[in-house]
Structure 1
Amino acid sequence: MTAEAAFRYLCDPRNRPEWQSSLRSVEVPADEEPHLGQAWRETTSVGVRPHMETTELVPFRVWTERGTWRGVSATLTLHFTDVTGGCRVQADGTVEGRGAWAVPAVAAGLLGSAAIAADLRKAGRIIARRRDDG
């Protein structure tokens, strides 16, 4: 898979419930293409409903989202690089909390790294399967 294919799939919020294990649904217009400033709402498996926004979009290279919910904010940046035989996607993220949300935010950040890595592996399998089927 190329960085372009990975980028197109991963930066589209409509695809998120298919590969992100913590999501039940995403609310975004069905015909809205990904763009800088795109906003959507997610519903997680534990009932959290963060407001999400694309804050950086450099086609086929970098995509950043920011999510906020109550006193917690999280940022995830995906870096896409073509490599021999495919592409590499590097994820960098932070989770911050204010007041009573500070400790839960730290815990979420610590647990999030392993979940993000597993979700990206799942996304890679989905993209590869689509390439092979199509």
Structure 2
Amino acid sequence: MSRTVLFPVPPSVVLDYLADPAHRAEWQSSLARVEDVAGPVGVGQTWTDVTVPGLRPRMRTTALVPGERWSETGTWRGLEADLTLEVAPAPGEASIVSAQLALRGRGPVGLLARALEVVAPAAVRSDLRRAARILRERPPPAPGVGDGRVG
């Protein structure tokens, strides 16, 4: 699955926002909140997503290249999901965000993974569009903020 969304802000601002678990429930529709954040924003940071239905996948940042790419892996009861967001500059101080999602599981959980692969692309794209709207409506960051130094 790969989807792209235009963001009206530079790549560094996009990733500073999307990579920080503190913002997740604001833009990700399936989340009620985030708990148990451990470590600074960056590779190795972990947290628990508390979903609206009450599922609690454990999440971990697996890659972060400021202003370019961020990846996470989530696990829940034998189901694993990898999400990578690639960010590229676009004209007019904007960005194009490309999302790649991979789901895995064995046995009955594998069936769930395949079923989620059908609905997940639309959900990811919708969530990214929400994040783009939020960032469009926010005032621009102060000088030195959103300059690619995540954290």
The TM-score, its normalising length taken from structure 2, stands at: 0.83
Structure 2 residue aligned with 1:37: 44
User: For the residues of structure 1 that align with 2:125 and 2:32, how far apart are their CA atoms?
Assistant: 19
Give the drift of 1:97. Answer: 1.1
1:108 aligns with 2:116: yes
User: For the residues of structure 2 that align with 1:29 and 1:94, how far apart are their CA atoms?
Assistant: 23
Matches within 5 A, 1:5-24: 5-24=13-32
Structure 2 CA distance for partners of 1:112 and 1:16, relative to 1, 3 Å: same
Unaligned residue ranges in structure 2 (runs of 5+): 1-8, 143-151
1:87 aligns with 2:75: no
Structure 1 residue aligned with 2:107: 99
Identical amino acids, percent of aligned pairs: 41
Matches within 5 A, 1:109-128: 109-128=117-136
User: For the residues of structure 1 that align with 2:98 and 2:36, how far apart are their CA atoms?
Assistant: 25
Which ranges of 4 or more aligned residues in structure 1 deviate by more than 4 Å?
none
Greater RCO structure (CA 8 Å; 6+ sep): 2
- Residue 51 of structure 1 aligns with an amino acid whose one-letter code is R
Give the drift of 1:131. Answer: 2.8
Unaligned residue ranges in structure 1 (runs of 5+): none
Structure 1 residue aligned with 2:64: 57
Structure 2 CA distance for partners of 1:108 and 1:33, relative to 1, 3 Å: same
Would the aligned equivalents of 1:10 and 1:16 in 2 still touch at CA under 8 Å? yes
Would the aligned equivalents of 1:19 and 1:123 in 2 still touch at CA under 8 Å? yes
Bigger helix fraction: 1
Across the two proteins, how many residue pairs are aligned to each other? Answer: 133
Q: Secondary structure at the match of 2:110?
A: helix
The TM-score, its normalising length taken from structure 1, stands at: 0.93
Of residues 69, 73, 76, the one that matches 2:80 is 73
